[in-house]
Structure 1
Amino acid sequence: MSTVLAVSFELPFKAPYDWTRVLRFFAGRATPGVEAIEDGTYRRAIEWDGASGTLCVARHARKHRLVVTIEGDASGYAEALAPHVATMFDVDADPAAIGRHLARDAWLAPLVEAAPGLRLPGAWSAFELVVRAIVGQQVSVKAATTLIGRLVVRAGRRIDDHPHPGTAWRFPSPAALANADLAQIGMPGKRVAALQGLARAVASGAVPIDDIHAARLPAAALADARAALLALPGIGPWTVEYIAMRAWRDVDAFPSTDLVLMQSIAARDPSLTRAPAQRVRTRTWRPYRAYAAMHLWNEIADRAGGVRGG
């Protein structure tokens, strides 16, 4: 891949934009070898229509814009990549409107005030995200990151002569992951089976999960996508809602069985310990429940001085 080829463009956003917390979220979940957060910049290896490259995203020093640079052959697809990157970094959100709505709730008002520009970080690929979600079941974020790194080395592809050592690996394709030898990789056999079953379903086209955008789909089609994903072994409601939030951009998705979210709600009202009762309480957050989840996760992460939730 040549570093001579490079194209830059800017993506405007409505202020405020909490770039620091967006980077913190991505950094805590970055796939080793594929993604890296360095000097205030998000960087990852990409492939678009068969062309390889590197995506770099940083906040403009003065303007309300993100600066995007595409290096390598993929730079020839900058125009097509722009909306994809815009979605991934949630630049089209209206933080004032979202904040006004959520701040009507006494629980959320102080959280919105503390992080008024909080965004809903997306994903480069829904497949990558669901792989991480499966790998991360019942383990910590740190442990999931270690396992994902092993998967990349086992089933991914190293990029020759890559200019950025921290992003010199291509994430495994669905077909590659489906056929990889994952013995002794550190995951229970049932989870490995679920992971490779998902990969086979995506590779065959039986369960399409990429190129889905909630705002561009009828409600029935989005419901069908949820049902198809949920029907796969090893995929539960939490995973489906998490994918809907971050990859499919359903801003009202809410992983109601998430342990951190449930604990956060119960701490505010001890009578609400079960998910059904909590779902009733959170109805007033609609149609922005995904942002409410981000605020609750962010509160815990702020207190812990690191990454918790999501």
Structure 2
Amino acid sequence: MKMSSQEFLQWGSKSITLLAMSGAGKTTLANKLPKEKWFHYSGDYRIGTKYLGEPILDNIKQQAMEVPFLKDLLLSDSIYICNNVSVDNLAPVSSFLGKIGDSNLGGLTLGEFKRRQALHHKAEIAAMYDVSEFIHKAESIYDYKHFINDAGGSVCELDDAAVLEHLAKHTLIIYIKTSPELNETIIERAKSSPKPLYYREAFLDKNLAEYMLENNFSDADNIPPDDFVCWIFPKLFKSRLPRYQAIADQYGYTLDACDVAKVNNDDDFIQLIAAAIERQTP
């Protein structure tokens, strides 16, 4: 939604969506807001608990069934398996997404990887549509005054205008823009610890073909999973930046990550947004 700085300051129950790459400070910022006043909605947590809960468990069980000792216990109902997704621990979601490549190195076939990517895409759309329901719940049931939607880094990849319009209708969209220096830090950090990621299929197909050509691979199922993630991450990161900016330009406002890092409490946050609205309103 668009509004004047005065309208924002007078908005009694503020609902805000934060957009940025992982590492830009979204979650750190959300954790600085008083828990008794701000309801923290994590898109990734909603994905892992509501929409990918069963596929995540199926994946874990499939791995466990390959261990004879665990297989016997599972088949006799002597043990059960559950995942422990939390706002601070999204590893089950990440491990489900997986990486393309050599199965001996923990990789997935291209077909299985794309199947999981499609499930995640559908789940992320559903989780973002749930925002409006949770805004209502947060206020009417739990008596929270304000609402923060810590959206996943791949929201800009959904290519679904209706989702963005839904978020813009119910929340003020704020993009946390990183500096070139922080961009390089995030990229280097990702390279040192390559993690599973979501890719738009067209982006994945184009860059996978390029990677295989550069490295003389004829079959995607043979590539080293971590090496590919390290190779593609800088390209993914840079491709997302203009997408975030386009969303902010159309539906919301932009904050500088350096300014966000200086926020100590919700008063600082509110004043920072009000100043950004003032500057960015024609």
TM-score computed with the length of structure 1 as normaliser: 0.23
Work out which of the two has the higher radius of gyration on C-alpha atoms and give 1 or 2. 2
TM-score computed with the length of structure 2 as normaliser: 0.24
Write 1 or 2 for the structure with the bigger share of helix: 2
